[in-house]
Chain A
Amino acid sequence: GIQVEQSPPDLILQEGANSTLRCNFSDSVNNLQWFHQNPWGQLINLFYIPSGTKQNGRLSATTVATERYSLLYISSSQTTDSGVYFCAVSRWETSGSRLTFGEGTQLTVNP
């Protein structure tokens, strides 16, 4: 199956700092999603981005499908950005497009 690696595993920032989270995957995919899991366990959809670049407020994401990686950028971080960020991928042809998740990046933003 597809392997997904996220880095760094842990990240501690001061409020206002910028950060970049990385997701590498081992095979071609046609779905890639970024999620934020808050302290209550809710998985919040951030981006559906199998290729290209998208922006949503202080967050943006870029996926380079040919090189099998995706980046999530967080600018001007806030304490509410704390939580775990997951990258998940799937192939349409495989198992109903079930998602394979990375192990996440634990982000802590300190005031």
Chain B
Amino acid sequence: DTGVSQDPRHKITKRGQNVTFRCDPISEHNRLYWYRQTLGQGPEFLTYFQNEAQLEKSRLLSDRFSAERPKGSFSTLEIQRTEQGDSAMYLCASSPGTIGQPQHFGDGTRLSIL
């Protein structure tokens, strides 16, 4: 059990650029979640996958955001045409997907938009 891994840890980019983040869940965890955390707030749910299927997207996830989990293992979160308001910590979590099991979080990707 190597834990949830996220890459990169930090990303600084100019407004209007596209960015992509990667999350590698704990192996054999079939549920994968993305959350976003802005300064001074608790994390907020963005979307989740059961294996390769994306089963729900929050209203926070605008059309500029897309997430994939092509083989049911790692996941990517892409933001197109970044805006100042996208500056946040993006957190990934995974769980076995059975009742009575906690979610385990990665260290997050901190995005700063210049």
Contact = CB atoms under 8 A, between A and B. Distances in A.
The A interface is mostly helix, strand or loop, or mixed, namely mixed
Interface stretch (A57-65, A72-80, A92-100): A92-100
Contacts of A41: 89, 107-108, 110
Nearest to B45: A98
B76 interface: no
Please classify how large the interface on chain B is, using the bins under 10, 10 to 19, 20 to 34, 35 or more.
20 to 34
Contact of A30 (B91, B99, B107): B99
A42 B56 contact: no
A53 to B, nearest CB: 17
A88 B56 contact: no
B110 A99 contact: no
Given A31-B102, A33-B103, A98-B56, A42 B108 contact: yes
Interface string A25-52: 0000011010100001111010010100
B100 to A, nearest CB: 8
Given A31-B102, A33-B102, A45-B105, A95 B56 contact: yes
Interface residues of A, number: 25
A83 interface: no
B104 interface: yes
A12 to B, nearest CB: 17
B44 to A, nearest CB: 7
Interface in B94-114: 95, 99-105, 107-108, 110
Interface of B: 31, 33, 35, 40-45, 48, 50, 55-56, 89, 91, 93, 95, 99-105, 107-108, 110
Closest 7 CB pairs of A and B: A101-B42, A48-B102, A98-B45, A43-B105, A96-B48, A92-B99, A42-B107
